[in-house]
Amino acid sequence: MNIGWIGLGNMGIPMAEQLINAGYQVTVYNRSKAKEAELTKMGALTAETPKALIDKNDVIIIMVSDDEAIKQIFAGDDGLLAAQTSGKIIINMSTVSPSISKEMSQKCRLNGNDYLDAPVSGSVKQAETGQLVIMVGGKRLVYEKVQPILDHLGKLTIHVGDTGAGNTAKLAINSLLALYTQGLAETVLFANQNGIKTEDLLNLINNAAIGNVYTKIKGDAILNQNYKAAFALKHIVKDLKLAKDEGISSPLAKTALQTFENAESEYGEEDLIAIIKALK
Ligand SMILES: NC(=O)c1ccc[n+]([C@@H]2O[C@H](COP(=O)([O-])OP(=O)(O)OC[C@H]3O[C@@H](n4cnc5c(N)ncnc54)[C@H](OP(=O)(O)O)[C@@H]3O)[C@@H](O)[C@H]2O)c1
């Protein structure tokens, strides 16, 4: 299967690289053309538009920011839906709303193409090593056809239900991510305010039952004051808003949305752990 890849951001680049390294012929499209260079150096081809990409490839994988980006990629004269081609499989791995997946899935079906939502848990590090966790919504038979491709991107893929179910599962996971992040930041600040060094506190957390891969990675980021976006703070605001649209209304979820939303104008382009600077 030839693969067309759309979206070369923090996640898209290492994920597309995994597929090139696995031996697939990958053709890339990105809105900002300069980002395609890293992939062409590795042997990727490029396409001028999403329409040109789907014409020439069996499977299209999308990894872009949000619902708006998805609309732009599917719609218009240059969009995926403009192509007169059938029998293709479109896998949307972006974190977007279940409703946009349902809409695009229906439109793809009218063209004789299949759509899966397959968002991922894990960040740049896991993308670079093919260790993502992938949750898939859509027809199981279609998922089974592309499972070998997804196996190069993730260590675990679960088919969780019909179209949009992958997106719903992802929004649930990212709600917890927001709570972890704010919780870790608040805990470090409380300890610091009472004379405990960050290094000591993180050492304790990471060796205790409450420590995990996430507290290690984000703890290191706090210690090194490294706020370069692996997962941009603006994206967790997007996800918490989508979760709210899907009905989450718990006290912690409400607080997290408010906290991250308040920080977005100043820290939106930085990593979500930059919330610690906003809370200081
Ligand atoms: N980073 C993480 O740790 C992580 C983890 C799990 C899931 N995710 C999710 O994965 C998705 C991608 O995340 P990321 O961190 O790779 O984002 P990113 O670095 O911000 O990259 C976003 C990508 O989307 C493209 N894009 C944005 N708006 C567009 C539009 N209107 N039309 C066409 N293309 C558009 C960008 O193109 P340009 O280059 O032209 O701007 C870029 O390729 C998001 O849904 C995010 O929530 C991220």
Domains of the chain (ranges, CATH numbers): 3-162 (3.40.50.720), 168-279 (1.10.1040.10)
Q: What's residue 238's pLDDT? A: 98
Contact status, residue 47 vs residue 29, Cβ threshold 8 Å: yes
* Residue 228 annotated to the active site: no
Contact status, residue 85 vs residue 54, Cβ threshold 8 Å: yes
> Tens digit of pLDDT for each residue in 81-136?
999 999 999 999 999 999 999 999 999 999 999 999 999 999 999 999 999 999 99
Percent of the chain with pLDDT over 70: 100
d(C-alpha 121, C-alpha 218), whole Å = 15
Give Cα separations from 117 to 137, 142, 199, 245 (angstroms).
Answer: 5, 11, 40, 18
User: How many angstroms does the Cα of residue 188 sit away from the middle of ligand 1?
Assistant: 29
Residue nearest to atom 48 of ligand 1 (CA): 231
The mean per-residue pLDDT over the stretch 270-280 comes to 98
32 CA: nearest ligand 1 atom: 40
230: Cβ below 6 Å to ligand 1? yes
Q: What's residue 152's pLDDT? A: 98
10: Cβ below 6 Å to ligand 1? yes
User: How many angstroms does the Cα of residue 196 sit away from the middle of ligand 1?
Assistant: 37
Q: What's residue 174's pLDDT? A: 97
d(C-alpha 79, C-alpha 280), whole Å = 44
| Beta-ladder partners of 117 | 92, 137
Residue nearest to atom 44 of ligand 1 (CA): 65
User: How many angstroms does the Cα of residue 194 sit away from the middle of ligand 1?
Assistant: 39
d(C-alpha 48, C-alpha 270), whole Å = 30
> Tens digit of pLDDT for each residue in 177-215?
999 999 999 999 999 999 999 999 999 999 999 999 999
| Beta-ladder partners of 59 | 3, 89
- Given 51, 139, 170, 234, the catalytic residue: 170
Substitution site in 5, 11, 15, 63 for ligand 1 pocket (most atoms within 8 Å of beta carbon) = 11
Closest by CA to 155, choosing from 134, 128, 125, is 134
Substitution site in 18, 62, 235, 240 for ligand 1 pocket (most atoms within 8 Å of beta carbon) = 235
Q: What's residue 137's pLDDT? A: 98
29: Cβ below 6 Å to ligand 1? no
Closest by CA to 188, choosing from 214, 209, 207, 215, is 215
175: Cβ below 6 Å to ligand 1? no
Q: What's residue 51's pLDDT? A: 98
Residue nearest to atom 39 of ligand 1 (CA): 32
> Tens digit of pLDDT for each residue in 215-271?
999 999 999 999 999 999 999 999 999 999 999 999 999 999 999 999 999 999 999
d(C-alpha 201, C-alpha 218), whole Å = 13
Would you state the structure tokens that stand for residue 120, as one six-digit string?
């991922």
126: Cβ below 6 Å to ligand 1? no
Its pTM stands at: 0.95
66 CA: nearest ligand 1 atom: 45
Q: What's residue 180's pLDDT? A: 97
Q: What's residue 6's pLDDT? A: 98
> Tens digit of pLDDT for each residue in 17-52?
999 999 999 999 999 999 999 999 999 999 999 999
Residue nearest to atom 18 of ligand 1 (CA): 9
Q: Which amino acid, one-letter code, is at 154? A: G
